[in-house]
Chain A
Amino acid sequence: MDDGNSLVKAEAGKSYRVVKIIGGYGMIRKLNLLGVKEGKTIKKISSQPMRGPVVIEVGGSQVAIGYRMAARVTIEVIA
C-alpha cells in the first residue's frame, strides 16, 4: 500500500486535513465515531517506533490509532 501521505508518515506536532479513509464500512464507521472523518482537521501528536500506534488530536480529544489502521488514513498538509 502506498502510505506516502498517510497518517503514519505525517510529522508529529503538525496539523493536517483528513482526505480519505481507505477501508471497509466497519473501519470507517469506527474512525468516524471517534471524530476521524474526511475533511476533518487533526493534529498528529506522536507515533511509536516499530510500527507502533499513532496518537492524534481531534476535536479537542486525543485518540490512539493502531499502525495498520493509521496507514489507511490519507491526509494533506493544511496550506
Chain B
Amino acid sequence: MKVLLMGNPNVGKSVIFSRLTGVNVIVSNYPGTTVEFTRGTMRFKGEKAELIDVPGAYSLVPASKAEEVAVEMVKEGDIIIDVIDATNLERSLNFTLDLLESGAPIIIALNIWDEACHKGINIDVDKLEEMLGVPVIPTCALTGEGIKELVGRLSEAKSRKVKFDDKWGEIGNIVENVQKVTRRHHTPLERLGDASVSPVTGIPIAILVLFLSFWLIRFIGELLIGYVFEPLFENIWTPLIMHVSDFLEAGSFWHDLLIGQLIDGEIVYMESMGLLTTGLFVPIAAVLPYIFAFYLILSLLEDSGYLPRLAVLMDTVMHWVGLHGMGIIPMMLGLGCNVPGALSTRILETRRERFIAMTLLAISIPCMAQIAMIAGLVGKYGVKGLGSVALTLFFVWLGLGLVLNKVIKGESPEIFVDIAPYRIPLFKAVVKKVWMRVKWFLKEALPFVLLGVFFVNILYTFGIIQWIGKYTAPVVTSLFGLPEEAVGALIVGFLRKDVAVGMLVPLNLSLKQLIIASVILAMYFPCVATFAAMLRELGIWDMLKSVGIMLLATAGVGSLLNLIL
C-alpha cells in the first residue's frame, strides 16, 4: 500500500508527512525545501502503509525532469493525498485537475486553512467536494488541525477518470462558485513583506538582517563556548582525563592515541591530538556551539519566509555568476554544511546552473565547522584575520563565478518563484528543526572527526606527513609560503576541514600564513561527505571538471596571496 503526498511547492506537504509518520523532516517557508522523495510509514486501517513525500510541482504535464518523475510516481500510488493551498485555490486546482485526469484515487487536504480565514478567503468546502467529486478536508498542518479527519477519511479517496477540455475555464468556474473573498486591510506582516522587496527599503532591510544574523551567530557561539563548553571541559573532563593519562603513561602508544601529546605536562585541547582530547573538544566545544547558533538563525530565516525575498534582491548579483536569485539558497545552506547546500542546488533549473553553484559552493563557501575553527585560529588578530579570509573567499566566489559564467556555454534562466507570505516562526517548529540538524551534525560529523584525529596519529607515527611534506614542498612551501608540516592539514582536510584547521594551531604560523592556509584549506577540495554528495549530483565527468577548477583556483589564489600579502 502506497500513499503519496503531492501538490504545489510550499503548500505544507512535508509538515503533513511529519504529522502522519512521526518522522521529522526539514520544513521551511519557501518553495523547493524538499528536493528528494522522503519515505516513511503510517498506520492505515490497522496496517502499515508507505507514505511518500513527493517534491512539489505546479503541473503533471511533463515539461521538466522533476515533473516527469512526478508523473511516473502517480502511477505507483494507491492513494494520493493532494495537498492544496487554501490561500491560492486557483493555482492549486490546476495541479488537482491534472491529478483527476490521471485517474488516480484522490483525497484533498485543503491546507493553510487558518491563514485563508485570516486573509478573508472563504471557501465552501462541501461545494468544492461536490464539484471535484473527491473528498476535501480543511487542514492546518502546522497546528495539526484536520489531520485526524484526513486519516479517518483516507479510504474514501476516489478515482474519477475525467477529461477537461478547457482546464482554465473549469478552474475559473470552480473558484467562482466556492470562493468568496472579503476585502480587508493589509496586515503589518504584509506591509513588511512588500517593503522587503522594494529596493529603497529592501536593501537596508537585507543589510540589517544579514548583519544581525552574523552578529547573533557569533554572539551565541562565543557565549556557549566561553560560559558552557570550555568550563565543562576544563573543570570536569580535564581532571578525569588526567587520571587516564597517568594510568596510560605519557609516550605509550595508547596514550598518544587517546590523550595525545601533553604540552608542559598539560592537556592543550586544540593541540594534543588525542581521540579523547582534541577528538572530542573540536566537534563539541569548538564547533557545536557555532553549528547550533547558525542553525537557529537559519531556521528563523527559513520559516519566516525571508529567503525568497533575499533571492529577489540578490538576483542581479547572482546573474553575474551565472545563477539567478534562488542560487542564494544553496549558498546559505552551504554555510552550515556543504552537503545540504549541494543537494539544494536542485531548486535550480538547469545543469549549467547546478554545476556552477556546486563548484562555487565547494570552493568558496566554508562550512560552519570550518568557520568556527578558523575564527578560533585567527581570532586574536580580530578583523584582520577572519575578515581577510572572508573577503578573499568572497572575491574568489565572485571572480570565479564571472569566469565560469563566461566560459560555460548557455545562459542562466530567469528567476520565477512564488514568494510565500511572511509567517511568524513557530517556537516548537524551530526548536525541532535546530535539534534535528544538531543531531545530524553529531551523528555525521563526530565519527569523521574522530577518524580524522586517528589518521593524524597514524600519519605522524609512521612519518607519512613528513614524507609527503618533502615531495609537496615545491607547492606548499615555494608557492604558498607554508611550512612542510602544513601538508598534514591538507591531507586530513579530505576527511574533515575542522580537524584540518585545528592541525595548523601547533605550527606557529604568521598571520599571513594563517590566512593563506585557511583560504587554501577551504578551496582546494571538498571534504569526503561533500565530495560524495557532489559526485552523486554531478556524475563523474562533471565532478572531475569541478575538481580541476578547484585545484587550479587554489594554486592561483594561494600563490597570489603569498605574493601580495
A residues whose Cβ falls under 8 Å from a Cβ of B: 12, 26, 29-35, 37, 45-53, 55, 59-69
Chain A residues lying within 8 Å of B229, measured Cβ to Cβ, are none
- Establish whether residues A30 and B416, one from each chain, have CB atoms under 8 Å apart when the complex forms: yes
- Establish whether residues A63 and B418, one from each chain, have CB atoms under 8 Å apart when the complex forms: yes
Q: Is B74 an interface residue (CB 8 A)?
A: no
Q: Is B397 an interface residue (CB 8 A)?
A: no
**With A48-B312, A64-B312 in contact, is A69–B414 under 8 Å at CB?**
yes
Q: Is B199 an interface residue (CB 8 A)?
A: yes
Chain A to chain B contacts (Cβ below 8 Å), 19 pairs: A29-B63, A30-B416, A34-B91, A35-B90, A37-B168, A45-B197, A48-B312, A48-B316, A49-B316, A52-B312, A53-B315, A55-B197, A60-B87, A61-B87, A62-B193, A63-B417, A64-B197, A64-B315, A66-B413
- 3 interchain residue pairs of minimum CB distance: A66-B414, A33-B58, A62-B419
Chain B residues lying within 8 Å of A53, measured Cβ to Cβ, are 312, 315, 325, 414-415
Chain B residues lying within 8 Å of A60, measured Cβ to Cβ, are 87-88, 119, 121, 181
Chain A residues lying within 8 Å of B198, measured Cβ to Cβ, are 12, 45-46
Chain B residues lying within 8 Å of A69, measured Cβ to Cβ, are 414, 416
Q: How far is the CB of A45 from chain B (nearest CB, A)?
A: 5
**With A33-B94, A48-B312, A52-B316 in contact, is A67–B197 under 8 Å at CB?**
no
* Complex CA–CA separation, A47 to B91 (angstroms): 23
Q: Is the interface of A mostly helix, strand, loop or mixed?
A: mixed
* Complex CA–CA separation, A63 to B311 (angstroms): 12
- Establish whether residues B197 and A46, one from each chain, have CB atoms under 8 Å apart when the complex forms: yes
**With A33-B58, A33-B59, A46-B198 in contact, is A68–B87 under 8 Å at CB?**
no
B residues whose Cβ falls under 8 Å from a Cβ of A: 58-59, 61, 63, 87-88, 90-91, 94, 119, 121, 168, 181, 193-194, 197-199, 202, 308, 311-313, 315-316, 324-325, 413-419, 421
* Complex CA–CA separation, A60 to B184 (angstroms): 12
**With A59-B91, A60-B87 in contact, is A68–B193 under 8 Å at CB?**
no
Chain B residues lying within 8 Å of A63, measured Cβ to Cβ, are 416-419
Q: How far is the CB of B430 from chain A (nearest CB, A)?
A: 24
**With A34-B58, A46-B199, A55-B197 in contact, is A65–B414 under 8 Å at CB?**
yes
* Complex CA–CA separation, A66 to B197 (angstroms): 13
- Nearest residue, chain B, Cβ from A40: B90
Chain B residues lying within 8 Å of A68, measured Cβ to Cβ, are 414
- Establish whether residues A62 and B88, one from each chain, have CB atoms under 8 Å apart when the complex forms: no
Chain A residues lying within 8 Å of B121, measured Cβ to Cβ, are 60
- Establish whether residues A33 and B312, one from each chain, have CB atoms under 8 Å apart when the complex forms: no
Chain A residues lying within 8 Å of B419, measured Cβ to Cβ, are 55, 61-64
- Establish whether residues A64 and B308, one from each chain, have CB atoms under 8 Å apart when the complex forms: yes
> Which of B181, B194, B415 touches A65 (beta carbons < 8 Å)?
B415
- Nearest residue, chain A, Cβ from B168: A37
- Establish whether residues A64 and B416, one from each chain, have CB atoms under 8 Å apart when the complex forms: yes
* Complex CA–CA separation, A66 to B315 (angstroms): 8
Q: How far is the CB of B556 from chain A (nearest CB, A)?
A: 29
